[in-house]
């Protein structure tokens, strides 16, 4: 092979330079490709890691609450149940203790004579049929009662009760039309109980609060008309 002259281009050198340039370019391409693969793999790894974290959170949530969502603690459930129960119980107690809402009055517990006095039927029949704010009279045995038109105790009269043991010469007596009454019970917000002590047999009267003077005035008039007078017995 004849070497090139001084003025001829050296094609071999040019080809060698081209080959070297191609090698460098190929190497750079490989390097860039590797970097891209690395980035892609890194991105995939991060995606997998994030996906795994999401699945882990989801699994933890499902394991804690199940399919029905978050659950209330037993203590909270007990509190939510107890509060309404306490409110209901408190309302029942309030209603039971409210004045004028009881099923009995003090005169219901007073002792009575061993036998029914003969004067009682006539006396009970002479009592008014009604009082203002109360219903019609009902007689049961030796007792007459008038139910309240609204919530509250009835007016009650009992004939033939025993002499009040607390009656003494110093007792304060109420004189009404012109019967003498001894106050045996006085309940604030509920009413007063009386026993007529100057006629026989003894008569007990329960006057609810806000009933006014009508019941004791009319009952006193019936006592004066139908029952005999008797001395004050201080025991």
Domain ranges of the chain: 11-71, 73-101, 106-226
Q: Is the model's pLDDT at 173 over the cut of 70?
A: yes
**pLDDT single digits (tens) 97-132:** 444 444 589 999 999 998 999 999 999 999 999 999
**pLDDT single digits (tens) 139-154:** 999 999 999 998 899 9
For 87-105, the DSSP string reads HHHHHHHHHHHSTT--S--
pLDDT of 64 reads: 55
CA atoms within 13 A on the CB side of 8: 7
The percentage of the chain sitting over the pLDDT mark of 70, rounded to a whole number, equals 59
Rounded mean pLDDT of 51-62? 49
**Spacing of C-alpha 76 from chain mean position:** 18
Measure the CA–CA gap between 218 and 157, rounded to whole angstroms: 12
pLDDT of 33 reads: 46
Q: Is the model's pLDDT at 44 over the cut of 60?
A: no
pLDDT of 86 reads: 64
Task: Write down the mean pLDDT value for the chain.
Answer: 77
**pLDDT single digits (tens) 19-32:** 454 554 444 543 44
Rounded mean pLDDT of 147-164? 95
Determine whether 131 is exposed, middle or buried from the number of CB atoms within 10 Å of its CB (0-12, 13-18, 19+): buried
């Amino acid at each position: 092979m004849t070497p090139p002259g001084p003025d001829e281009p050296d094609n071999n050198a040019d080809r060698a330079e081209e080959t070297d340039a191609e090698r460098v370019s190929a190497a750079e391409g490989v390097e860039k490709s590797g970097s891209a693969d690395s980035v892609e793999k890194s991105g995939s790894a991060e995606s997998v890691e994030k996906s795994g974290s999401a699945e882990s959170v989801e699994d933890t949530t499902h394991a804690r609450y199940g399919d029905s969502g978050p659950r209330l603690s037993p203590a909270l459930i007990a509190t939510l149940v107890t509060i309404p129960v306490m409110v209901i119980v408190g309302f029942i107690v309030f209603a039971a203790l409210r004045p004028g809402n009881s099923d009995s009055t003090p005169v219901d517990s007073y002792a009575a004579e061993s036998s029914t006095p003969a004067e009682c039927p006539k006396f009970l029949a002479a009592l008014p049929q009604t009082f203002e704010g109360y219903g019609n009279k009902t007689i049961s045995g030796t007792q007459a009662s008038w139910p309240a038109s609204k919530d509250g105790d009835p007016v009650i009269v009992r004939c033939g009760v025993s002499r009040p043991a607390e009656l003494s010469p110093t007792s304060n007596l109420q004189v009404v039309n012109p019967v003498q009454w001894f106050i045996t019970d006085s309940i604030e917000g509920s009413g007063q109980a009386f026993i007529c002590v100057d006629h026989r047999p003894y008569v007990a009267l329960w006057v609810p609060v806000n009933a006014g003077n009508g019941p004791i005035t009319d009952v006193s008039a019936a006592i004066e008309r139908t029952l005999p007078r008797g001395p004050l017995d201080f025991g």
